[in-house]
Structures are given as structure tokens and as C-alpha cells.
């Protein structure tokens, strides 16, 4: 099942849950949510840049990327961002820069 990101349609009128981007695990067949499960205000699904890694693929995921993903699952976006940002300094890992920026935003940092 995919994880979808949602955000408030009216950020000034949102609760703590929908004031920032939040994630919902849904089936592909489930319709998108229209209201926040906590406060009932309007929300919209975000278009997310994601990367699909197939098991056994040549690129695979190393320990650092697994740790970043673990931090993200736990909602520890600042930790995930710092780790991805540091790792993206390596020439072969520059693709992690966008992920770090997304995690910084989720953690509440402005760019």
C-alpha cells in the first residue's frame, strides 16, 4: 500500500495535524481524503517525488538510506534531513539532496 502526503488547503485554519504535511497509508483503490481526520478542515493530496527501488536492483539501498527512511517513518524529519544532506555531499549520492530538502520542509524549516 502506498503512503500519500496531504496538506491543508487553508493553512491558517488548520490544526496541529494538518498544519504541516502529514502522511496516510491508503490502498490504491481508496479515494483521496478531502478533510483532515483530526479537525475536519479541507486537505489536499500532494504530488510527491518518490523513488521506487525494486528488491535486488543494482542500486539497492545502503544502511544510511535505510536509516533516513526509518527516521521518516518515525516522523523524525530533522534527523532524516541532516543525514540525507550529509550523505548527499558524496558525488554518487547527490540524488539525496532533494530528499533532504523535502525532509527539512517537513521538519518546519523554510527555504
Percent of the chain predicted with pLDDT > 90: 24
Spatial separation of the C-alpha atoms in residues 82 and 100, rounded to whole Å: 7
Residue 37 and residue 9 in one domain: yes
Answer yes or no: is 57 within a domain. no
The model's confidence at residue 20, banded by pLDDT at 50, 70 and 90, is: confident
Pairing of β 43-45 and β 3-8: antiparallel
pLDDT at residue 23 greater than cutoff 50: yes
Residue 55, domain member (yes or no): no
C-alpha cell at 110: 523554510
73 and 38 co-located in one domain: no
**DSSP code of residue 61:** -
pLDDT score at 84: 92
pLDDT reported for residue 58: 43
State which residues form the domain around 31.
3-45
Sorting pLDDT into bands at 50, 70 and 90, what band is 28? Answer: confident
pLDDT digits (tens, 9 = 90+) for 55-99: 544 444 578 888 999 999 999 999 999 999 999 898 888 889 999
Report how far residue 82's alpha carbon sits from residue 103's, in angstroms, rounded to the nearest whole number.
9
- What pLDDT is recorded for position 57? 46
Amino acid at each position: 500500500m502506498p503512503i500519500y502526503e496531504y496538506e491543508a488547503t487553508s493553512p491558517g485554519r488548520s490544526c496541529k495535524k494538518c498544519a504541516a504535511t502529514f502522511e496516510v497509508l491508503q490502498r490504491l483503490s481508496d479515494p483521496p481524503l478531502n478533510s483532515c481526520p483530526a479537525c475536519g478542515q479541507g486537505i489536499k493530496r500532494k504530488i510527491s517525488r518518490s523513488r521506487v527501488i525494486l528488491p535486488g536492483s543494482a542500486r539497492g539501498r545502503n544502511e544510511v538510506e535505510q536509516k533516513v527512511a526509518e527516521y521518516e517513518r518515525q516522523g523524525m524529519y530533522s534527523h532524516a534531513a541532516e543525514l540525507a544532506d550529509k550523505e548527499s555531499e558524496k558525488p554518487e549520492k547527490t540524488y539525496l539532496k532533494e530528499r533532504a530538502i523535502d525532509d527539512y520542509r517537513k521538519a518546519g524549516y523554510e527555504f
